[in-house]
Amino acid sequence: MNKEAAYWIALAHLPRWGHLKINNLIIQFYHEYKLTPENFFQLSENDWKNQYRLEYNEVEDLKKAKSELANNAFLAESLYNEGYELIPITSPEYSKNLKENLKTAHAPALLYVKGNKQIMYEKSVAIVGSRNASDKSLQFTDNIAKLVSKEYKVVVSGFAKGVDKQALDSAIKYKGQSIIVLPQGIMTFGSGFKTYYKQIVDGDVLVLSTFFPKAPWKAELAMARNPIIYGLADEIYVAESSDKGGTWSGVVDGLRKSRKIYVRKPEASENTANNLLIQKGAIAVDFNGIPVQGYKPIETQKTILVANEPKINYDNKIFGLLKTGEYTVKDILKKLQLDWSEKKLRDFLKKQKEVEMINKKSLRFTIKNQVVKQNLLFD
C-alpha cells in the first residue's frame, strides 16, 4: 500500500493540466526540492506561487485538490481493498518502457493495475488494429500472438473489439502473458475481471488503466489509451488500419515519436490503409512478422480490387435469398454454401443499405422493402 496514494490521485487527475505540466511539477518538487507529495501539499500557497512559479488558477486547482485528499483516501482504501495497486511515476515499479517511450510530455503520473505486475518488466509486443478487422488480419494477429508467446514475451493490447480482443484471446490460448490496457477507469471493468479471473490468478494477465478509477468508457479515453499501449511495448505490430480512427492516429503518433512500427503487408486486393502507414515509415512485415525487404506499396489498389473479386455474384445470391424472408447469418451461410465467416457476413450485411436488421432473439436480416411489403399486407 502506498501511504501517499491520496496525494498521487490528486496530482494525476489535476483537471486540464495535461501530462507535461503535471510531470514538470512532480520533477520540480520530487527531484529538485526532494519533497514527498505529502510535503508538497503541506506547503503554503505562497510557496506554491513563489517557489514553484504557479499561476493563480494553478494554485486554485491545487487548493481544491488538497481539500479533496481525505475523499481520495476513501477511494484509495477501496481500491486497495479490491486488489488494485497504484504505481506513481516516481516508483521503481513504474514501467521503464512507458517512461522512456512517452517521456515527460506523455507519461501518465499514476498507473492503476491489477494482476501480475512482473509482466510489465518483461519484453513486450503490442498488437493493434481496427475493430472491424478482416479474417486475414485476425489470423495475422493470432499468429503474431503465438510467436510472441513462444518467445515468452508479453502481448499488450487495448481490449477493443477485433484485433485487440484477438491478440488477448490468442495470447491466452498459447499460454502467453498479456497486458490489457483499459479505455476506462479500472473500477468499471468488473465483468472483465470475472472473465479473466483464472489468468489473473495464474499471473498471466495484468490489467492497467491510467484514468480516474471510476471513469466509464468514452471514445476520448479509448483514443488517449492508445499511446499507453505503444508506450508499454518494446515492439509494435499493426494488423490492420483504416485511414482514420484510433489505430491510425496511434500509429502516426508513434511514427512521429520515432518508434519502430511493423505493419502487416496487405494483399493487393485489400482496402486498408496499411500501405499508407508503410509509406509514412512503418515497416512492412509478412505473416510471421518478418520484415519484407524492398516492399513498395502500390497505389493502384482500387483497380485491382474491381478486377479481383466476383463480389457482385455474392451480392445477388444473398439479396436474392433475403428477398424471400428473414434469415440469420447461419441460415444464409448454410443455404448459399458460402465460404465466409459469420463475422464477415454479418459485417457485410450491416454495411448494405438495402438490408434490414431485425433484432430478434437471434439477429436476422432481410431486404428492406420486403418488410415494407409485409406491413402492407397486414394493412
- Tell me which stretch binds other proteins (CB under 8 A): 62-70, 229-237, 238-246, 339-347: 62-70
**Nearest distance from C-beta of residue 130 to other proteins, angstroms:** 31
CA distance 144 to 123: 14
**Nearest distance from C-beta of residue 245 to other proteins, angstroms:** 32
CA distance 248 to 262: 13
Please pick, from the candidates 70, 307, 312, 377, the single residue that binds other proteins as defined by CB under 8 A.
70
186 binds other proteins (CB under 8 A): no
- Tell me which stretch binds other proteins (CB under 8 A): 2-10, 94-102, 277-285, 311-319: 2-10
Q: Which of 196/237 has CB closer to other proteins?
A: 196
Other beta carbons less than 10 A from residue 134's beta carbon: 22
The contact pattern for other proteins, residues 207-246, with x = CB under 8 A and - = no contact, is ----------------------------------------
Residue type, 344: K
Q: Which of residues 86-125 bind other proteins (CB under 8 A)?
A: 115-116
Q: Which of 149/199 has CB closer to other proteins?
A: 199
6 binds other proteins (CB under 8 A): yes
Please pick, from the candidates 20, 27, 201, 290, the single residue that binds other proteins as defined by CB under 8 A.
201
**Nearest distance from C-beta of residue 270 to other proteins, angstroms:** 40
**Nearest distance from C-beta of residue 203 to other proteins, angstroms:** 5
CA distance between the termini of the chain: 69
Secondary element (H or E) of residue 279: helix 274-279
The contact pattern for other proteins, residues 73-92, with x = CB under 8 A and - = no contact, is xxxxxx-xxxx---------
Cα distances (angstroms) measured from residue 287 to each of 128, 182, 201, 206: 15, 27, 32, 27
As a three-state string, the secondary structure of 295-335 is CCCCCCHHHHHHHHCCHHHHHHHHHHHHCCCCEEHHHHHHH
Q: Which of residues 115-174 bind other proteins (CB under 8 A)?
A: 115-116
**Nearest distance from C-beta of residue 70 to other proteins, angstroms:** 4
* β pairing state of 110-115 and 205-209: antiparallel
Cα distances (angstroms) measured from residue 145 to each of 134, 169, 361: 17, 9, 34
CA atoms within 13 A on the CB side of 43: 19
Let me know: does 144 contact 127? Beta carbons within 8 Å: yes
Q: Binding residues for other proteins, per CB under 8 A?
A: 1, 3, 5-7, 38, 41-42, 66-67, 69-71, 73-78, 80-83, 115-116, 190, 193-194, 197-198, 200-203
